[in-house]
Amino acid sequence: MDLIEPAVRTFLGIFFLMIGLQFSARTLGLYARMGFSHIHYGARGKATWWHRHIFNVFRAAILLVCLARIFVDLDGWLGVFAWLYHWPVLLAGAVLLLASFSAVNYLQAYMHEDWRSGIAPTADKARLLTQGPYSRSRNPLFLAVMSGQLGFFLALPSVFSLVCLVAGVLVITRQAKEEEKALAQRFGQDYEVYRAKVPRWF
C-alpha cells in the first residue's frame, strides 16, 4: 500500500490532465484541418445541451480533485470508502482506466473522419458505421467511457467518485438514446435494419 497508493494518487492527476490536453488538442487540430467543429452541443436548453454541460462539469471537477490530491489530503472531504481503499482495488482501477483510454483512442481512430462528439447537423457528411466494433455494439465508444468511469471509482473508491460514476452513466445512457433518435431520422431504414441486428450495448 505504501508504494501503490501514492503511485495511483499521482497517476490519477496526470492521467486526467493528459486526457484533457489530448481531447483539446485533437479538437483544435481537427478544426484547423477540416474547417468545422467536431464537437456538437445541440440547441441551447435541449437534452443534449444539458448532457454535454453536466459531463463537462463533472470532468472538470474530477480533474481538479485529482490534481489537488497529489499535494493536499482531500480524502476526508471525498468520503473515501475505507473497506475498498486497498492496493489491489486501486491498481485494478488504474488498469481499467488505461484499458478504457486505449479503447477510446482505438474507436476514435477506427471512426477516422466520421468521428463526432454529440449529434452532428444533418448537413454533416458523416456516415453510418456498421462494421468492426460497431457490428457488435451500437455504442462501443460509450461503453469504453463508462468502463473508464468505473475504473475511476475503483482507483478512488469514495462518495465523490460514486456520484461521478452514477451521474456519468445516467448522462451517457440518456445521450445514447438521443443520438439513436437522430440516427434513425437521418439514415431511416438503413439504421432500422442495423438496430435490429446489433444490440445497443452488448
What is the number of other CB atoms lying within 10 angstroms of the CB of residue 2? 7
Q: What is the Cα–Cα distance from 41 to 54, expressed in whole angstroms? A: 11
**DSSP for residue 112:** G
Phi-psi category of residue 197: left, alpha or beta, with phi > 0 → left and psi -120 to 50 → alpha: alpha
What is the Cα 80 distance to its own chain's centre? 23
pLDDT score of 43: 78
The CA-based angle 86-90-96, given to 5 degrees, is: 150
Which residues share a beta bridge with 80? Answer: 158
Give the pLDDT confidence score for residue 124 in this predicted structure: 66
Q: What is the pLDDT of residues 135-183, one digit of tens each?
A: 999 999 999 999 999 999 999 999 999 999 999 999 999 999 998 998 8
Rounded to 10 degrees, the C-alpha dihedral 104/15/168/148 comes to: 50
- CA–CA dist 119, 122 (Å, integer): 9
pTM exceeding 0.85: yes
- pLDDT for the residue 49: 87
Tell me what pLDDT residue 1 has: 61
Ranges of the chain with pLDDT below 50: none
Q: Which among 135, 122, 142 is positioned nearest to 187, based on CA atoms?
A: 122
Please tell me the predicted confidence (pLDDT) of residue 122.
Answer: 63
